[in-house]
Amino acid sequence: MELCILADGDEESVVDLQSWLAVDPGTAQLPITTVAGHGPTMSALEALNVVLSNTTDIANFALAYVTWRATRPLQLPRPAGSGEQPGGQRLVHGDSTVDIGHLSAEELAKLLRGLNGGTPSGEQE
């Protein structure tokens, strides 16, 4: 399953998340690529693409993400109606965009398994 974590204008947070995932023992082996934007932001980091191959990857990513988020300084909410979330808080998979900034590791793992169509056949959680 490939998912995308949007920078939402906060490239620094997404770079920090990428660094965190690269050194986390559970996620260091995950294929992660950056997506650079074109146009007015010219080469600004817009997103991270992450490939999760199995339920272990999903659980490891969920735990690493929530742990990373807990180390971040408290982010003030954006103004109502702005439609923007602090960087690294929205996940895109296919046609689905989900705010993940408030989810626990268990909730995030459950969401990712659901987006992936449940547990792949033959795998145990």
Instruction: Give the mean pLDDT of 44-73.
Output: 91
pLDDT of 63-96, one tens digit each?
999 999 999 876 545 444 444 445 568 999 888 8
Token readout for 84 is: 């923007």
The answer to whether position 102 is within a domain reads yes
The answer to whether position 45 is within a domain reads yes
The answer to whether position 34 is within a domain reads yes
The answer, as to whether pTM is greater than 0.75, is yes
- Give me the amino acid identity at 117: G
Q: Are 95 and 86 in contact (CB under 8 A)?
A: no
* Cα gap 95→20, rounded to integer Å: 27
The answer to whether position 94 is within a domain reads yes
Higher pLDDT, 103 or 75: 103
Higher pLDDT, 59 or 45: 59
The answer to whether position 35 is within a domain reads yes
Domain containing 30 equals: 2-73+87-115
Number of domains in the chain: 1
DSSP string for residues in 21-80: HHHSTTTTTS-EEEEE--STT-S-EEEEEEE--SHHHHHHHHHHHHHHHHHSPPPPPPPT
pLDDT of 105-125, one tens digit each?
999 999 999 988 865 543 444
Instruction: Give the mean pLDDT of 20-35.
Output: 95
The answer to whether position 121 is within a domain reads no
The answer to whether position 79 is within a domain reads no
